[in-house]
Chain A
Amino acid sequence: MLTIESLKKTFITRDGSRVNAVGGVSLEVETGKLLTLLGPSGCGKTTTLRSVAGLEKPDEGRIVIDGEVVFDSREGINTPANRRGIGMVFQSYAIWPHMTVFENVAFPMRVSQDRKYSNAEIEGMVARALDMVRLGGYQTRSSTQLSGGQQQRLALARGLVKEPKLLLLDEPLSNLDAKLREQMRFELKRLQLELGITTLYVTHDQAEALALSDEIAVMDSGHVIQRGNPYEIYHKPITEFVAAFIGSTNILRGRVENAMAADGMGSVVTAHGVLRCSFSRGAASEDDVIIVIRPEDVVLSAEAPADPQNAFQGKVANRIFLGEVIDYLIDSGEEELRVRARPEWDFAIGAEVHISLPPEKCVGLADRHETAPAAA
């Protein structure tokens, strides 16, 4: 449905230096799916999205929307944004304050070049779009009277009103407060499933990406580092960057003792002894590696565990009670481990604890910061 091939974009800053915003990004999104571009600010995700919208002209590459080439640097094709027929929601919502709710939503039909819309038609389309985002009956309101969440919905209605083939969402939830954001997350998911609309979503919020996406592309420094479904991105990160960016994680440094065996497991010498772990990609003996493990996967116990594999001792350095969980900071000699434990694992500060790291939850990664684009 949407294909992006080797997209490149360089900006020249005011002091004359060049910044590689996007350094060769290739992606496809299947019809009806939601792909999230996830990464820190400045990673090129917004530039990629704006290139798809036609608001930014890439230096190189090709963009195809629904079989139609809208950008091709070699052929010299660059369809202007107003002819690409996409829906888009901006971070600031970009609700026009001088128009009513109705006029905001009716705008895409009012300026339509390809055909004229009758007033009755426009009224029907606006009503349907507003109903969809649960703003039915708000037509005559002034758009400035709406609350933040309502403006958000209004922006969405405007993006959806012409039933575009492709919907682009640029950090649409980042201006909402935490509670509203969670509510809108469900709303977005519902709409996207209901309408089956192909969506490209940009965010820096990993929780949002995990909740909404069919597929996530993690970006850093203008490159896609890893692509996969939310489960893979969370549990099988292929670089330290991805592991550290998606949720909090523990990172243990070591050296490979036994390379990956047939079952995908190997062993690594660390400060806590030899740890067994799975490797997300091949690693040879003597390679420097890191092992990442999520805080909620670490097991704490007062007694030594029956299986001494991947187990060592530590001391509770600090604890924070969060209600449904307790977060511990465990001093294990060399490193501090973050552990998210169920409330029944109740240890006081200073208590000696046994730590075990389930081997299947430990992921071994080559110990360098990877920026090379992942093979698609």
Chain B
Amino acid sequence: MVAADPTYVPRKNALMKFAEWLTLGRFVLIICAIICAWLVFVPLVSLIYVSFAEDTPAGPGALTFENFINAYSKDYLPDLFITSLEFAVSSAIITLLLGAGIAWVVERTDAPGRNIFHALSLVAFAVPGLLIAMAWALTLSPNIGWGNKVLQAVFGLDEAPFNIFSMGGMIWTLSSHYFPLAYLLMGPAFRVLDIRMEEAAVVAGAKNWQVARRVTMPLLRPAILSTLLLLFVRAIEAFEVPLLLGLPSKIYVFTTEIRFAIAEAPPQFGYSSALGLTLLVICILGVWAYRHATRDAEAYATVTGKGYMPTPIKLGAWRWPVTIATSLVFVAALGLPLIALLWQSVYYKTIPNVDLVADFTLRNYAYILEYPVFLSALKNSAILGASSATLVVALGFVMAWMVQRTNVRHAWTLDAMAFIPIAIPSVIIGASILFAYLMLQRYLPFQLYNTLGILLIAYVTMYLPYGMRFASGGIIQIHKELEEVAEVSGASLMQTFRRVLLPLMSPVLIAAWLYIFVMAVRELTASIFLAGPHTQVLGTISLTLWEEGGSYGTVAALSMVQIIPLIMIVAVMRHMENKISRRG
């Protein structure tokens, strides 16, 4: 035996040293890092590569600047830029005004019905963007829009007063789709704003408008700025609204231009990725500025955090007028499109008739529910939604735990990597994953192209930041000592996970799962690039049905059978949300 010599140290070969270095923590970290890096960097690298490579029928060829020269020398490029920015900036501002207004009413006033407004905002979140765009087209199309017809009849007009297929129509439609997001972002800012800071200004002798200008606005500025930036990024990468409403009037933005360049024969991969890279840079700058602004916002939050008391502003005689005004916003932004879809779905003719009883029909629903394409798309969307939500939540939970709880070095890189997809527009995710796996196809042992697998990769990439965010937030809520005391009590790591961490985290994880499931089922933009003949999803078949222009009634019925379950899921989410906040 060698143990007799206390100075004896066995010589270690490289493999043994590696095995010693490779603790369980490092192993999990490395696996997560590889998955993360693969998901995030493969599309980015392929996007950059394709944009600098010559387009050949056999795929990307020699390196060249031709794509950029080609893209930037197009005489419509300045127009494309200006149109995209006009659309994004205006939508961001309108959305902010709507969202901030509702947030103010819900968080700061005693107007009746505030809980209903909160719930309705979540309902609005559940409605897919494509369906909102369809609903507005059905309402305010100059030819078939029932809203226009009603206005024409009432006011005796010869021409339709509104044309949804215009820049103004696009901006309004996108705002009516995104205002819940603005509400959710601005709500906390109003909530942490300590009313006593305003009272202190009043006591110091300030008039109301002076309080607003010198105290309230400066305190809210970081939140407003960061919300605007995020809305701008979301608007410039928006695809459904420009596709449905911009195209008929030949209004193009970056996302639609990229889509059509790829849909051309032969597909212009180089040109579209050169444009895509431009869009990506704009989005990255926006997200970078957003991160910067939210850092400031957090600094403000800590200042106001102490001694905060939520005292609503007493509106007095204005209580009901404020509630009515807010309700009108919901009617205009959410009620009209939903009514349009519901109405259209129970009529077979193109334009809903005032002769309600005679023309009422359920054959649209009957048709949809027996339509084989719908059933297979429903199955695909459900599978993709459930599997992407499960993967993202599991990955996010493990990675967030590594980042928050372990002292494994470099764990923070996971956090940084998982955040990157926030800045990548869905159009680019779809296009670049298409490029990447077309190129990688011949090296892969199995077929990915035209399978649900490639869609799953895209979904997981897109929703990774959300999974990470939810999980981090949940873990931060749980005091570290709750896990440590389990360990000291003799529990193994798995026992601590199963008996302590998972039960405590389950409301957060379920909420995250549902949130991602809803987003995945709503998805259209990336799916357009990746869905094959047998892997159509709800978004793509809705679009196809719309573009075929057959029966609007069928499309409306198809919309309703998506919206109703989504709203029910969001209701469950709200229930989980309450559970979380009650415990916190």
Contact = CB atoms under 8 A, between A and B. Distances in A.
Interface of A: 53-55, 80-88, 90-92, 94, 96-98, 107-108, 110-113, 155, 158, 162, 168
- Of the listed residues A90, A111, A155, the one surrounded by the most CB atoms of chain B closer than 10 A to its CB is A111
A54 B487 CA distance: 9
Contacts of B486: 96, 107, 111
B504 A113 contact: no
B490 A85 contact: yes
Contacts of B487: 54-55, 80-82
Q: Is the interface of B mostly helix, strand, loop or mixed?
A: helix
A111 B503 contact: no
Contacts of A53: 484, 488
Interface string B487-502: 1111110010001100
Contacts of A107: 486, 489, 491, 499
10 contacts: A53-B484, A82-B491, A88-B485, A88-B488, A94-B484, A96-B482, A111-B490, A112-B490, A155-B485, A162-B490
Given A90-B485, A91-B481, A96 B490 contact: no
Contact of A108 (B479, B489, B492, B500): B489
Given A96-B500, A98-B503, A98-B504, A111 B489 contact: yes
Contacts of B503: 98
A162 B479 CA distance: 24
A66 to B, nearest CB: 16
Nearest to B498: A111
A55 B490 contact: no
The 9 closest A-B pairs by CB, nearest first: A94-B481, A111-B491, A108-B489, A94-B485, A90-B481, A88-B488, A81-B487, A98-B503, A111-B495
B583 interface: yes
Contacts of A84: 488
Contacts of A94: 479, 481-482, 484-485
A97 B583 contact: yes
A82 B495 CA distance: 11
Contacts of A98: 503-504
- Of the listed residues B488, B492, B503, the one surrounded by the most CB atoms of chain A closer than 10 A to its CB is B488
B482 A108 contact: no
Contact of A55 (B488, B492, B495, B504): B488
A362 B491 CA distance: 52
A55 B484 contact: yes
Nearest to A75: B6
Contacts of A97: 504, 583
Contacts of A111: 486, 489-492, 495, 499
A202 B485 CA distance: 16
Given A98-B503, A98-B504, A113 B490 contact: yes
Nearest to B487: A81
A55 B504 CA distance: 21
A90 B484 contact: yes
B485 A82 contact: no
Contacts of B495: 111
Contacts of A90: 481, 484-485
A85 B490 CA distance: 7
A53 B499 CA distance: 21
Contact of B479 (A82, A87, A92): A92
Contacts of A54: 487-488
A90 to B, nearest CB: 4
Given A97-B504, A98-B504, A111-B499, A82 B482 contact: no
B481 A92 contact: yes
A96 B481 CA distance: 10
Contacts of A55: 484, 487-488
A147 to B, nearest CB: 18
A113 B488 CA distance: 13
Contacts of A112: 490
A150 B490 CA distance: 23
A253 to B, nearest CB: 40
Given A90-B484, A92-B479, A94-B485, A82 B490 contact: yes
Nearest to B493: A82
Interface in B466-516: 479, 481-482, 484-492, 495, 499-500, 503-504
A55 B482 CA distance: 13
Nearest to B483: A94
A203 B407 CA distance: 25
A52 to B, nearest CB: 10
